[in-house]
Amino acid sequence: MSMLLLILGMGLATFAPRYVPLLVFRDRELPADVKTFLGYLPPALLAAIAVPSVLAPVDNRVEITVVTIPYLVAGVVTLVTGLFVERFMIVWTVGLAVFFGLRWWLGAM
């Protein structure tokens, strides 16, 4: 039941930003300051998600083990590759190859 509510809540959260402007804004624009803030919010959130996932992948602890090394190395490789290569699928595949390759090599899987 709570999962149903959560899914509906997420549905509302993804639907509202898509629909409300269609309902409210006809010819008007969002205030410029709001737009600027909204522009910075997603990169900030992505960094807030990704950085701990790479630096502290297990139990929120920063540590160097055979389990965490692939996250750290592949995370950095993915980000750096992404700065130079534009194709999403290529960068993503490179990141995964490094990650699972290292895991295999270090014997974590």
Partner 1 sequence: MSDRTPTRAPERPATPRGEFVAGARSMVPFLLSAFPLGVIGGTLGLASGLSYLETFGLAMVVNSGTAQFIGFKLISEGAAWPVIVLTTLILSLRMLIYSTLLAPHVRELPQRWRLLLGFGLIDAVFFVAFDRIKGDEPARRKSMYYFGASAIMYVNWAIATVVGMVAGHLLPQRLRDGLDFPMTAVFLVVLAGALAGWKIWTTAVSAGALAMLTIGLPYNLGLILAALGGACVGMACERIERRWFPPEPDEPAADPDPPEPEVTAGADGPPPGAVPHVRPGEHVRPGEPVRAGDRAAGDRAADAAADVDGR
Determine, following the binding rule CB under 8 A, whether residue 14 of this chain makes contact with partner 1: yes
CA distance 109 to 94: 19
Determine, following the binding rule CB under 8 A, whether residue 1 of this chain makes contact with partner 1: no
Compute the least distance from the CB of residue 64 to partner 1, in Å.
16
Among 1, 13, 101, 105, binds partner 1 (CB under 8 A): 13
CA distance 51 to 3: 27
CA distances from 33 to 22, 37, 43, 54 (A): 20, 6, 17, 32
Determine, following the binding rule CB under 8 A, whether residue 105 of this chain makes contact with partner 1: no
Determine, following the binding rule CB under 8 A, whether residue 54 of this chain makes contact with partner 1: yes
Among 1, 19, 63, 72, binds partner 1 (CB under 8 A): 19
Taking Cα atoms as reference points, which of 58, 44, 101, 59 lies closest to residue 77?
101
Site for partner 1, residues 59 to 98, rule: CB under 8 A: 60, 62, 70-71, 74-75, 78-83, 85-89, 91-92, 95-96
Determine, following the binding rule CB under 8 A, whether residue 103 of this chain makes contact with partner 1: yes
8 A C-beta contact, residue 58 and residue 68: yes
Determine, following the binding rule CB under 8 A, whether residue 30 of this chain makes contact with partner 1: yes
The pair of structure tokens assigned to 43 is 């990169």
